[in-house]
Amino acid sequence: MIFLDLINSVKRRALRNQSGTEFDTSVKEVINSSIFRLAREAAWRVLRRTTHFDTVTSYTSGTGSVSVTISSTAWHVTGANLFTDKVEVGRKVKFGTGGGFYEIRTIFSDSSSSLDRKFEGTTSTATSYEILPQGEYTLPMQTSHRMFMWHEAEGYPSLMTYVTDQSFFGTSNYLTEKNTPSHYRMWGEDNSITQLPSTTYLSIQSSVASDTATNVTIFGNIGGFPGFETLDTNTTTGTMLETTTNAFDSFERAAVSSPTNGYITVKSVNGSYTIAVIPEGNVRSVVRKKVQIYPLPQSVFPINIYYYKDPFPLKDSGDIHELGQEFDEAIILLSVAKLKYQDDQKEGDRFMSLYTDELRSLRKTNIDKLDFFPTLQRPWGRGVGLVAPNLSFNQVGSYYGPSSRL
């Protein structure tokens, strides 16, 4: 069924009416929430997807004339392209004059940046540097937690091992270790593709010119405190850039006032980093999951992801949901049950029972036979020297494992 058919079916069963438009907005919202609910009920085969991301290795661009000063957080490199090459804050960096490893806190330009703490090495105006490989990556939009990752960096399919943060940090590993990634952990979940390189104004634009005068509200830190700003897409053409009047220290999320015909992009004015993208039809922020891989990748290669996606909402009358026609009846029954519960508990229970029965039938033929599920287990390596079955600490890096092993 197309979206309009679903709307009419729900109105006919719940409201005994499909001619008026008084309740269309609430019915559309209920249908979309029912689609999301149904998608979470099981690992549906129709929602299984595959994708990949390419690893990012060490960055050393420039002439090598790097200036660092003891007790200062500022550093400058001649000939680098930090903005142009979209180097991300949070990556580790080390310098030829020592001082250990630092984290990039802000990036001001293609050549200027600051550290997370004061430089402890020897002052120099012409030392070398290395920004270590990127360890954190943003997964595809709508990726759920049901996923696994693998690569062929060593010439054969190698399944990466999921590890919890607590188990990972319990191994006393070094976050600067470079090798072929063998493990991953879920690092976070937010609405940004990447964070702001530094305190900056933000710009918005639509991919479609007809998205004019659409409210976009951006939330984040302004002047060190939580804040937000609402601005409109251009009144003449939605593809023209509009810029905030406030400079943001960090980005939290963005939402639009009404469904759009194109996708809304939020970018930083400094460096023009793509911070967030809201797909067409969405009025809320899109959650993006982050994954941290270990060890840091010493070469560039694709890491494959098998995952189950969360469906996109329906917007236009002719839209078709991603679950397929076999799920139409379940969507209608659940939507009607939600509407019925507003007025009649008994009627709501009856339709919810019909939904449960329909769901049971769908599970018999449409559920995927999962061959994976990341589970919380006792950490390997307690006295046996293993990270996972048949995988020793030495195989994944010389510094990986309990500190007592060093």
d(CA 216, CA 204): 8
Neighbours of 255 (CB within 10 A): 19
Residue 123 tokens read as: 């002052």
Please tell me the predicted confidence (pLDDT) of residue 259: 82
Please tell me the predicted confidence (pLDDT) of residue 404: 41
Task: Mark the ranges of the chain whose per-residue pLDDT is less than 70.
Answer: 17-19, 145, 283-285, 369-406
248, 316, 289: which is closest to 53 by C-alpha? 289
What φ, ψ does residue 208 adopt, rounded to 5°? -125, 130
β-pairing, 66-68 vs 158-159, is unpaired
- DSSP single-letter state for residue 152: -
Instruction: Confirm if 401 and 387 have CB atoms less than 8 A apart.
Output: yes
Instruction: Confirm if 34 and 329 have CB atoms less than 8 A apart.
Output: no
Contacts of 233 (CB under 8 A, 6+ apart): 204, 205, 206, 211, 212, 213, 214, 216, 240, 242, 264
d(CA 173, CA 73): 26
Q: What is the rounded (10 degree) CA torsion for 234, 193, 286, 191? A: -100
pLDDT digits (tens, 9 = 90+) for 45-68: 999 989 899 999 999 998 778 999
Instruction: Confirm if 191 and 276 have CB atoms less than 8 A apart.
Output: yes
Please tell me the predicted confidence (pLDDT) of residue 145: 66
d(CA 234, CA 232): 6
Cis-peptide, bond into residue 302, ω within 30° of zero:
no
Over its C-alpha atoms, the chain yields an Rg (Å, rounded) of 25
What φ, ψ does residue 124 adopt, rounded to 5°? -155, 150
Please tell me the predicted confidence (pLDDT) of residue 139: 87
